Structure 1
Amino acid sequence: MGKVFAFHGGIHPPENKKQSTRTPIRDMPLPKVLYIPLQQHIGIAASPVVNIGDRVLKGQMIAEPVGRISAALHAPTSGIIRSIGPHPVPHASGLDSDCICIETDGKEEWVEHHGLEDYTRLEPGTLIEHIRQCGVAGMGGAGFPTDVKLHLGDNHIVNTLVINAAECEPYITADDMMMRERADEILGGIKVISHLLKPSHIMIGIEDNKPQAIHALEAALKGCELNIDIRVVPTKYPSGGERQLIKLLTGIEVPSGRIPADIGIVCQNIGTTAAIYRAVHFGEPLISRVVTVTGDAVAQPQNLNVLIGTPFADLLDASGVYENKLYRLVMGGPMMGVTVEHDQIPVIKTTNCIIAASTDEMPPAPPEQPCIRCGMCEQVCPAELLPQQLYWFAKGREFDKAKNHNLFDCIECGACAYVCPSSIPLVQYYRFAKSEIRTEETEQRKADHARERFEARQARLEREQAEKEARRKARAEEAARAQQARKTASETPVAETGSAAAVTAAPVDVKALKTAAAVARTKLKKARTALKNAEDKGLDGIDTLRITVTTLEQKADAADQAYKDAEASTVPEQAAAPAVDLKTLKQQVSIMRTKIKKAETALAELDGEARAQAEQDLSTLRQRHEEADKAFKAAEQAQIDAAAAQGVDLKKLKIDAAMARAAVTKLERSLAKTEEDEARAALEAELAIARAKADTLNNTLKQHEPA
């Protein structure tokens, strides 16, 4: 049998197991309605693949797994989908959850299904996927999807496979009866698991209060080629806890915050092994399980083979419930189970027991008293925690301290509350603290995610602002350089002495020279006025004013001469190719058109001689408008002809330039609305190309348009 070790703490509550082991496992009568919750396991809820009104067959998938940690759901029998929505579910919160409601038709028509001929020849991934599609999940704890545990061999070296057959909690006998009646199926499931994980040693841990189950397993193991060792452990609660059973069988303690696979151990439940066997050999999904129905309020405590989704009320009716004696309905065992208020709650994959208790069997909890610091809770804690200290932290909402004292190592077995002389519901305090910590961590993750997004956005906005500022400075510098170049080109060296040769020796700007001459004449006029005023009034400084006037007269003459010489030098070019300002001509045509409209409006209100004069003025305006329009069109055509002579289609060039400018504007607007970095990078590259094209077209247009 091998050596058995011990774990800290534990208790010996009344077993109450014999009541439900007097009869073999019975098949539960087919219920009229089944409610299949979408969330029956740890992880993400399954997603429905059927619609209301669909007819489904037994074993047909009705909800597919979502994500890595999820499990498929199948129709437990044939029938019609009546609803998909909220319904009471077996959960400590008492809240509703989404369920698929099937109205059974009594035909029990199976969907086509086949087992695997020789699973040993399949790739491990293919075999595990088959088990995943059959919806097999842990049937003895929190319902961890079995395929995830079977994948542990990919990343861990599995030395030991532990089969949990302890079933330590009082009242529950579902696994005990399965071992008595279905030992061959259990062994078949162990062989599949062994094929996938390839452990060097397999141990079945079972309590010594199940002698018939032990004999049945020993008989089934005769002639088995696997290295399987049945370890009988003393009856003590909670020896069926995963970490406690591993400590009992191997003497090794699973470190805090780690999983058994980290020390080379994988643990599976008896019911799970049988489900794996039927999935692999017969292709049957997990659609039923054995449930213990017991308690003083039922006439026939027994174990029933129940379809997933069967309401508790049907199980109670099948066991002969005494309504007048029923005081409390408990889902699970008396230590870790929860009281439920609704008998329409359905059986799920992890439901192993329903206790219909009378008042004498499970009386109301006595009122909570102050803690007397007796230390009994610490003595029985199987996880070797400090329950009393955790209680104070939870009550005082000091959740960080509770977490640092390994609160999450608590398996919520209830041993501490069982022995507490003050009747303090310690487990409820621990559950509250865990829930609050999980909520805080979720909110913190959301806050951190929001902060990261905000900081990323701020960094992007600052980067965009810096880039925009850099582009603005570059444009300003470019404009300053262009302005300086124009200013340098327009400056004309006018000698103080008024030498005409100096004026005509360099490129001149006639307009600038004309302005300079006008300014010089204005200064001279002001100086002469000041001199005359001083002479009339006999003021001081008349000699200085006369010298100033003489100097200004020389400058004015020089500036005027420079302007005349420059104008004379440009006359031949102007005569040869007169500069025409199309913009000015177009404005003149527009002004004439506006004056005509105003004159036509005013004419409608006049009569007599005033009307005749207005009509004459209107005729003159129309004639002038016609002349201006002809001049504009002629100048425009001359410009087009000149461009055409150089091989340029000026009209097309204008259209292309306008379209290029419009494209730049559109891209700039799109860039301003876009926040994603990759999209912005693509738009910025496209905008740079569009701007370069627009600049090229505009420069080409300027070269062929007159100034």
Structure 2
Amino acid sequence: MEKLIAQIKQGKVWPFPGGIHPPGQKTISTGQAITRLPLPDKLVVPLKQHIGANGKLIVDKGQQVLKGQALTKPVANWSVPIHAPTSGVITDICQMPSAHPSALPELSIIIEPDGQDRWCTLNPVPTPSLLSHEQLIDIIHDRGIAGMGGAGFPTYIKADSRKAIEYFIVNAVECEPYITADDMLMREYASGIIAGIEIMQQLLTPTLTIVGIEDNKPEAIAAMQTAAAHNDKIIIQTVPTVYPSGGEKQLIQLLTNKEVPSGGIPADIGVLVQNVGTLFAVNQAVFEGKPLIERVITVTGNTIHNPGNVWALLGTEIKHLLDCQGFSPVPQQRVVMGGPMMGFTLPTVRIGVVKTTNCILAPDHEELAEPGPEKACIRCSACADACPASLLPQQLQWFAKSKEYDKLKEHNLFDCIECGACAYVCPSEIPLVQYYRVAKVEIKEQQAEQVKAERAKERFELRKQRLEREQEARQNRHKRKPATEKSADEKQKIADALARVKSKPAKDDDKSAVAAAIARAKAKKQNQGAGLEPDNSDVALERAARKEQARKYKEQKAAASTTDGDKAAPADDKKAAVAAAIARAKAKKAASSTTDSETATTTPADDKKAAVAAAIARAKAKKAAKAEQADSLEVDQTQSETAAPADDKKAAVAAAIARAKAKKAAKAEQADSLEVDQTQSETAAPADDKKAAVAAAIARAKAKKAAKAEQADSLEVDQTQSETAAPADDKKAAVAAAIARAKAKKAAKAEQVSSVEKDNAVDETAPTTKNQEPGTEAQPEQTAQDKKKAAVAAAIARAKAKKLQQEGSDK
């Protein structure tokens, strides 16, 4: 580093690639000192005159303002305020054409000067060395200082650099043709510029400060050397006249032999660059308290009769500058803001001066000829040789025309400083810089859209996560709490309910079993759903009490109707039908018993009859076994109905299953009866006594079938009674009906077994035909016609029995 400093102090400079030597034309405007323009009729002050965000308006239309009064205040980063260039009245705040090649409208403040040029209160600082770093930064920020030599970068951002600065470079090269504003400023205000440099040295504390000036400005070099003689850390360095040596990166390479990396800034290599006009504004802001409201502008060109440099208030219309300097326009006159290399043609002269305006050029057609039509590239490589950034202008132009933005980035389009050297040397007159500018804007727009899309995606994801969290929270609110053990009071209530159910006086064993089963089922359900189901023990007890009351009411009504039938109220039709069915069943049962006893004592038996009786006994035993099986199925169904928690649908299903099983058992019994009849017909003797025995057996079978059918009718009627008479609960009625059917079947089974035993006893003790008394005549043999009659009678009997059985099951 010391070696480099020594080389710099010796005046050594390093070349940069490329560069051109266009005609300077600077002597046109350096013949006289800087003059001050008269006040214009109006000032058009745009809110944005720098890189960064606009300030916030703090004035209103019609308000009186003073010279130097703030019109906006910074509200965001890289935002600096603007100030009133003179005293007057704000006549309007509206959209006006901007100082841009597109002249797009932007918000501007229109001020009508009052001619008094009255200043607001100023706060000068005579000894800035006593101020802190932050105080100096605030002064520079509040006075609205921005870069006056290029893009208008806010000065307070550079002055508050967080990176160590080794070399502070002052750009006084002013390499572009026609422009002499910085040259004249250094000639006349060198001491003020050196004072501004010293303020920046206080803020940045650089190792060395270098002022670079082209060797075509001898007066400015001499003035600056004289003003900086007292400060040994300031070196006035002369550089060769080459365009564009005034570019920031090119000047750094010229003075320090350091190269700014692609996509980087000078601070990355410990260097910071400021323009001489900016440093003079810093001097005025600190020592005089003046905000940036005016600047030096070069007004030149062959159509200007009095070319020179003027102090112009910010917001002064370009037309006012031209008129004050003697403007004589030619047909199709062009007015350029800036120099002929990097400037742009204004669409109107009603645009106001801004902080970055350093030159107004009004050439005639010979001085600055109109560009000819664009021709095809001849690949001469002159553009690449002239490029100071070592780019490939030809390839960049092709990629820009085909909108291949990725390839433009790969070829470092944004390293282009838009100096115009490539277009200046192009023999095909291709406006290369215009292609690059358009491509840069499109790429920036594309990047902005991508940033927007990313932000929108991020917002969408955040919103989606928020909605999911809200939905999950709603679901959690509606979820039941986890199961917990019941409290001691709830357990005691359950125990008391079970005790009350068990301690009730039972009318019979079946009712007690049903009640116990219901109680157990309820207790089990409550214990399993502890913490998940509400406690319904009180409701269950009330329901049980209502059922018990209904049952008692039913019993009392039945007892009253039995003991006092004459005084009873008119019976229900269904009840009368039940009573009639019961009476018929009793009568048939009595008749059947009488017939069986008479037949057993009067009918003579023989060996064949004994065989028939044995077959009948076996058939009856088989029927009894099947009936027992059906009864067990019925009882199992009843148990399942009483044990599980019953509801209406399950009770209906269980009843249907029970009826189906009963019908199946009846069909099986009928099939056995037919088998017995078949056995009888096959084993019947031709004798009349055999026929009589068979007829008696058939009669007994028919009577028993009729009795069973009648019994089934009575059971069905009992079921009807239980469903229609009592107001008891449906579930209890279904259970009671099932128990009643089971009891009836058990009784019928017992009676059937006793009848079978009696028949077997009679058959075994009866005398055979071989032991008949003497003198008894044998019956004549049965004829074929009699056999047919007997078969027909048996079939008729079976059909009638089947019909009676079906009618009983339907009832």
Length-normalised TM-score, structure 2 = 0.63
The Cα offsets for residues 395-440 of structure 1, whole Å up to 9 and x where unpaired, read as 0110111012111111000000101111110001001111111111
Alignment CA distance shift 1:544-1:283 (3 Å) = farther
Question: Which of 71, 79, 85 does residue 62 from structure 1 map onto?
Answer: 71
Asked if 1:461 corresponds to 2:467, the answer is yes
Separation of aligned partners in 2, 1:363 and 1:164: 30
Counterpart in 2 of 1:242? 248
Q: Give the Å deviation of 1:292.
A: 0.1
Q: Give the Å deviation of 1:553.
A: 10
Q: Give the Å deviation of 1:558.
A: 12
Question: Which of 92, 95, 112 does residue 121 from structure 2 map onto?
Answer: 112
Asked if 2 retains the 8 angstrom alpha-carbon contact of 1:161 and 1:199, the reply is yes
- Secondary structure at 2:335's aligned position in 1? strand
Counterpart in 1 of 2:372? 366
Alignment CA distance shift 1:527-1:59 (3 Å) = closer
The Cα offsets for residues 48-78 of structure 1, whole Å up to 9 and x where unpaired, read as 2111111111111111223120111111111
Counterpart in 1 of 2:480? 475
Alignment CA distance shift 1:471-1:550 (3 Å) = farther
Counterpart in 2 of 1:389? 395
Asked if 1 retains the 8 angstrom alpha-carbon contact of 2:330 and 2:364, the reply is no
Question: Which of 397, 406, 414 does residue 412 from structure 2 map onto?
Answer: 406
Q: Give the Å deviation of 1:455.
A: 2.1
Q: Give the Å deviation of 1:467.
A: 4.5
Asked if 2 retains the 8 angstrom alpha-carbon contact of 1:163 and 1:270, the reply is yes
Which consecutive residues of structure 1, in runs of 5 or more, have no partner in the other structure? 568-707
Asked if 1:287 corresponds to 2:308, the answer is no
Alignment CA distance shift 1:386-1:504 (3 Å) = closer
The code of the aligned residue for 1:42 comes to I
Question: Which of 26, 33, 38 does residue 29 from structure 1 map onto?
Answer: 38
Separation of aligned partners in 1, 2:708 and 2:19: 121
The code of the aligned residue for 2:480 comes to R
Alignment CA distance shift 1:127-1:545 (3 Å) = farther
The Cα offsets for residues 656-691 of structure 1, whole Å up to 9 and x where unpaired, read as xxxxxxxxxxxxxxxxxxxxxxxxxxxxxxxxxxxx
Alignment CA distance shift 1:433-1:505 (3 Å) = closer
Separation of aligned partners in 2, 1:259 and 1:552: 105
Which consecutive residues of structure 2, in runs of 5 or more, have no partner in the other structure? 1-9, 520-540, 552-640, 643-647, 674-704, 733-811
Alignment CA distance shift 1:4-1:465 (3 Å) = same
Separation of aligned partners in 2, 1:230 and 1:552: 128
Separation of aligned partners in 1, 2:496 and 2:671: 45
Alignment CA distance shift 1:217-1:512 (3 Å) = farther
Asked if 1:132 corresponds to 2:138, the answer is no
Asked if 2 retains the 8 angstrom alpha-carbon contact of 1:164 and 1:204, the reply is yes
Alignment CA distance shift 1:80-1:378 (3 Å) = same
Asked if 2 retains the 8 angstrom alpha-carbon contact of 1:498 and 1:557, the reply is no
Asked if 2 retains the 8 angstrom alpha-carbon contact of 1:174 and 1:352, the reply is yes
Asked if 1:164 corresponds to 2:175, the answer is no
Asked if 1 retains the 8 angstrom alpha-carbon contact of 2:101 and 2:347, the reply is no
The code of the aligned residue for 1:84 comes to I
Question: Which of 304, 307, 316 does residue 313 from structure 2 map onto?
Answer: 307
- Secondary structure at 2:109's aligned position in 1? strand
Separation of aligned partners in 2, 1:110 and 1:148: 27
Asked if 1:320 corresponds to 2:326, the answer is yes
Q: Give the Å deviation of 1:96.
A: 1.6
Separation of aligned partners in 1, 2:335 and 2:312: 18
Separation of aligned partners in 2, 1:232 and 1:273: 19
Asked if 1 retains the 8 angstrom alpha-carbon contact of 2:43 and 2:111, the reply is yes
Alignment CA distance shift 1:539-1:314 (3 Å) = same
Alignment CA distance shift 1:328-1:545 (3 Å) = farther
Separation of aligned partners in 1, 2:129 and 2:110: 38
The Cα offsets for residues 223-280 of structure 1, whole Å up to 9 and x where unpaired, read as x234111111100100000000000000000011111011111100000010000110
Counterpart in 1 of 2:274? 268
Q: Give the Å deviation of 1:89.
A: 2.1
Q: Give the Å deviation of 1:300.
A: 1.0
The code of the aligned residue for 2:14 comes to F
Alignment CA distance shift 1:17-1:456 (3 Å) = same
Asked if 1:498 corresponds to 2:509, the answer is yes
Counterpart in 2 of 1:77? 86
Asked if 1 retains the 8 angstrom alpha-carbon contact of 2:196 and 2:281, the reply is yes
Question: Which of 210, 213, 219 does residue 220 from structure 2 map onto?
Answer: 213
Separation of aligned partners in 2, 1:332 and 1:432: 19
Separation of aligned partners in 1, 2:96 and 2:89: 17
Q: Give the Å deviation of 1:454.
A: 1.6
Separation of aligned partners in 2, 1:336 and 1:199: 31
- Secondary structure at 2:309's aligned position in 1? strand
- Secondary structure at 1:277's aligned position in 2? helix
Summarize the alignment of residues 214-613 of structure 1 with structure 2, pairs less than 5 Å apart. 214-222=221-229, 224-324=230-330, 327-469=333-475, 472=478, 474-475=479-480, 498-499=509-510, 502=513, 509-510=543-544
The code of the aligned residue for 1:130 comes to I
Separation of aligned partners in 1, 2:303 and 2:154: 34
The Cα offsets for residues 518-541 of structure 1, whole Å up to 9 and x where unpaired, read as 979x969x979x99xx99xx9989
Counterpart in 2 of 1:634? none
Asked if 1 retains the 8 angstrom alpha-carbon contact of 2:295 and 2:355, the reply is yes
Question: Which of 93, 96, 111 does residue 87 from structure 1 map onto?
Answer: 96
Q: Give the Å deviation of 1:453.
A: 1.6
Separation of aligned partners in 2, 1:454 and 1:540: 81
Counterpart in 2 of 1:653? none
Q: Give the Å deviation of 1:101.
A: 0.7
- Of structures 1 and 2, the larger Rg is shown by 2
Q: Give the Å deviation of 1:27.
A: 0.7
Q: Give the Å deviation of 1:291.
A: 0.2
Separation of aligned partners in 1, 2:204 and 2:374: 48
| More moved, 424-433 vs 459-468 | 459-468
Alignment CA distance shift 1:308-1:551 (3 Å) = same
Counterpart in 1 of 2:579? none
Separation of aligned partners in 2, 1:548 and 1:180: 135
Alignment CA distance shift 1:476-1:318 (3 Å) = same
Separation of aligned partners in 2, 1:251 and 1:489: 102
Counterpart in 2 of 1:615? none
Taking only aligned residues, the RMSD between alpha carbons, in angstroms, comes to: 3.9
Separation of aligned partners in 1, 2:75 and 2:273: 24
Q: Across the two proteins, how many residue pairs are aligned to each other? A: 554
Separation of aligned partners in 1, 2:409 and 2:397: 12
Asked if 1:176 corresponds to 2:187, the answer is no
Counterpart in 2 of 1:676? none
The code of the aligned residue for 2:222 comes to H
Asked if 1 retains the 8 angstrom alpha-carbon contact of 2:143 and 2:285, the reply is yes
Q: Give the Å deviation of 1:120.
A: 1.0
Q: Give the Å deviation of 1:555.
A: 10
The code of the aligned residue for 1:139 comes to M
Counterpart in 1 of 2:196? 189
Separation of aligned partners in 1, 2:335 and 2:235: 38
Asked if 1:8 corresponds to 2:17, the answer is yes
Asked if 1 retains the 8 angstrom alpha-carbon contact of 2:97 and 2:103, the reply is yes
Q: Give the Å deviation of 1:344.
A: 1.1
Separation of aligned partners in 2, 1:162 and 1:395: 37
Asked if 2 retains the 8 angstrom alpha-carbon contact of 1:297 and 1:325, the reply is no
